[in-house]
Amino acid sequence: MTDYIPGAEPLFIEGKTRGCLLLHGGGGGTAWDLKEFANILHKQTGMTVWLPSLTGYGTKPEDLIGVGMHDWLTDADSGVNRLLETCQEVFVVGHSAGGVLSLITASTRSEVKGVVTWAAPYGIKNRLFPLLPALSRTPLLRRAIPERHDSPAPSWLKEKGWVGYEWIPTDVGLAMHEMLKRLKAAINSVTCPALIIQGTADGSVSKDSAQRIYDGLGSEQKEFIMVEGAPHPIMTDDRYNEELFSRTIAFIQSH
């Protein structure tokens, strides 16, 4: 049995034959980040909800060592399969890296009826991020790269009881680099209805991420929304999450 940090455990809520897979981010967050929305979504719609813990998350940071994109894509694919055991329709909602996973999954799984991303990156706000693959392939330079990257949560989020990692292995950045490369190759193959949401005060992803994802989608029915002043953890900020949740639920109910 996996020894999860209290509050970071996966969450399954049985409901009707419409299902929703929720995928959390990869910067140190856990399933805790999406539990409030999971409960609200089920309460308002009666949907079956599955919020897994992505491989390496929710336990201890060391468990992320050796984990990468293929593990998380397998988690997402397995999540769709689990919902399809009892559901006729499946939607996918993802935050940050979970949004990238949602889009890649929607590009390959025709069963996905709609996809929503919150603060999904097309690019990362970090000057070293684009250089990571080249640096990692050069032994002398590789030794200069710290083995861990601090990922402290803001104080307001900790006050809400945030559950997550204070640091993650730097190799997670390499996995994210690979995921973004995969996203850019797959984005035009996403043809289901899509809603792309990002905050204007997001300090983690490039400011044009939502626009570039929207532009690349192959979907005929697509929308992107910029939420004025919202930060990267938009779903846990009480100033913005009510609007975020209502727009997401309205999108799901309209398709």
* CATH code for position 111: 3.40.50.1820
- Tell me, what's the pLDDT at 128? 54
Q: Which two tokens stand for residue 248?
A: 């997401």
Which residues constitute the domain of residue 227?
Answer: 11-253
DSSP for 94-152, written as a single string = EETHHHHHHHHHHHH-TTEEEEEEES--SSBS-TTGGGHHHHHTSHHHHTTS-SEEE-P
Q: Is residue 139 part of a domain?
A: yes
- Tell me, what's the pLDDT at 130? 55
Render pLDDT for 46-101 as a digit per residue (tens, 0 to 9): 999 999 999 999 999 999 998 989 999 999 999 999 999 999 999 999 999 999 99
- For residue 37, give the nearest of 89, 85, 98 by alpha carbon: 98
Q: Is residue 129 part of a domain?
A: yes
Q: Is residue 231 part of a domain?
A: yes
Number of compact structural domains in the chain: 1
Distance (Å, whole) CA 153 – CA 180: 23
DSSP for the chain, written as a single string = ---PPTT-S-EEE--SSEEEEEE--SSS--THHHHHHHHHHHHHH--EEEEPPPTT-SS-GGGGTT--HHHHHHHHHHHHHHHHTT-SEEEEEEETHHHHHHHHHHHH-TTEEEEEEES--SSBS-TTGGGHHHHHTSHHHHTTS-SEEE-PPPHHHHHTT----SEEETHHHHHHHHHHHHHHHHGGG--S-EEEEEETT-SSB-TTHHHHHHHH---SSEEEEEETT--SSGGG-TTTHHHHHHHHHHHHHT-
Out of 16-30, 32-46, 139-153, give the one with best mean pLDDT. 32-46
- For residue 196, give the nearest of 149, 144, 148, 244 by alpha carbon: 244
Distance (Å, whole) CA 53 – CA 63: 12
Q: Is residue 110's pLDDT more than 50?
A: yes
Tokens 């025709």, residue located? 110
Distance (Å, whole) CA 6 – CA 9: 7
Read off the pTM: 0.93
Measured in Å, how far apart are the chain's first and last C-alpha atoms?
A: 37
Q: Is residue 32 part of a domain?
A: yes
Q: Is residue 2 part of a domain?
A: no
Render pLDDT for 177-214 as a digit per residue (tens, 0 to 9): 889 999 999 999 999 999 999 999 998 899 999 999 99
The percent of residues in the chain predicted with pLDDT above 70, rounded, is: 90
Report the interhelical angle of 171-186 vs 97-108 (nearest 10°). Answer: 40
Q: Is residue 1 part of a domain?
A: no
Q: Is residue 18 part of a domain?
A: yes
Q: Is residue 61 part of a domain?
A: yes
